């Protein structure tokens, strides 16, 4: 398994995520989007690409039992004590069909060039009626084509329209310049939820003055929904 995050796991945990007070301030509103889109519930909530398990406390606060999978043993080392997590590939989730009430994927879709297949896997393991909360870098305002060096004037260059992988970044303090990232233009991203058979339910954005984060809540339809939904 290709685990590029092994190389940067300590940097990610101690420097990128920063100390507890910085995380708690939630400057990109990632936690806010997660709370809004996942909402309260009970039973297991699986985080795909859980990394160091930084969202487990919020998931638990919302009433769920957090669980995680990640491809990087280095990242999972930091997740110990935060949630039950195992090493696995998001493209082959080690869970039975229709076995989970909730799945989340937070700030990880750009690390997964096969994200449409990951969403199909998420849909497979979700129970009918189960919720999927996706929170990721905003496809319109973040990427190799976006220069965020001046927060008051984000510059969007050519490149948005191509799905591509790049290490190009306006900063050397981020993840993309270290491990690279895949860009999904907005329609490709949203269509991937629909192609996985999920129903789009709510959206959220986070970060100011130009959003850094886009969140999506989708749901696996029940048989009753399928029977009555317009085709």
Ligand X SMILES: C[S@@+](CC[C@H](N)C(=O)[O-])C[C@H]1O[C@@H](n2cnc3c(N)ncnc32)[C@H](O)[C@@H]1O
Given the rule CB under 6 A, which residues bind ligand X?
3, 5, 49-51, 54-55, 69-72, 75, 89-91, 106-108, 111-112, 175
Asked if the peptide bond before residue 228 counts as cis, ω within 30 degrees of 0, the response is: no
Would you say 1 or 227 has its CB closer to ligand X?
Answer: 1
Non-local CB neighbours of 170 within 8 Å, separated by 6+ positions: 146, 147, 148, 149
Q: CA triplet 123, 143, 182: central angle to 5 degrees?
A: 45
What strand order describes the sheet that includes 44-48? 84-87, 65-70, 44-48, 100-106, 126-137, 213-219, 199-206
For residues 6 and 222, which CB has a smaller minimum distance to ligand X in the complex? 6
Alpha carbon distance 152, 183 (integer Å):
23
Least Å from the CB of residue 181 to ligand X: 9
Least CB distance from residue 231 to ligand X, whole Å?
33
Single out the residue of 162, 165, 161 nearest to residue 180, CA to CA: 165
Find residue 122's DSSP bridge partners.
none
Tell me how far, at minimum, the Cβ of 118 lies from ligand X, in Å: 7
Residue whose CB is nearest to ligand X in the complex, by number: 51
Please, what is the minimum distance in Å from the beta carbon of residue 14 to ligand X?
Answer: 13
Least distance to ligand X, CB of residue 227, Å: 34
Which residue number, 49 or 144, has a Cβ lying nearer to ligand X? 49
Whichever of 22 and 153 has its CB closer to ligand X, that residue is 22
- In terms of phi and psi (left: phi > 0; alpha: psi -120 to 50; beta: otherwise), the region of 65 is beta
Nearer to ligand X, 93 or 218 (CB): 93
């Amino acid at each position: 398994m290709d685990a590029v995050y092994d190389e940067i796991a300590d940097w990610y945990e101690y420097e990128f995520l920063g100390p507890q007070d910085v995380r708690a301030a939630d400057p990109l509103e990632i936690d806010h989007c997660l709370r809004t889109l996942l909402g309260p519930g009970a039973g297991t909530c699986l985080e795909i690409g859980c990394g160091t398990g930084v969202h487990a406390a919020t998931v638990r606060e919302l009433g769920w039992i957090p669980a995680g999978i990640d491809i990087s043993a280095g990242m999972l080392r930091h997740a110990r004590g935060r949630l039950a997590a195992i090493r696995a590939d998001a493209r082959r989730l080690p869970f039975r069909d229709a076995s989970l009430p909730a799945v989340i994927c937070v700030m990880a879709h750009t690390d997964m060039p096969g994200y449409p297949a990951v969403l199909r896997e998420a849909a497979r393991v979700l129970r009918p009626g189960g919720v999927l909360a996706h929170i990721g870098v905003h496809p319109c305002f973040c990427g190799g084509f976006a220069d965020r060096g001046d927060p008051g004037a984000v510059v969007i260059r050519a490149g948005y329209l191509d799905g591509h992988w790049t290490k190009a970044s306006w900063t050397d303090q981020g993840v993309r310049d270290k491990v690279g990232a895949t860009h999904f233009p907005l329609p490709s991203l949203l269509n991937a939820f629909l192609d996985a058979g999920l129903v789009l339910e709510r959206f959220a954005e986070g970060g100011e003055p130009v959003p850094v984060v886009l969140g999506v809540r989708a749901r696996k339809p029940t048989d009753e929904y399928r029977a009555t939904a317009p085709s």
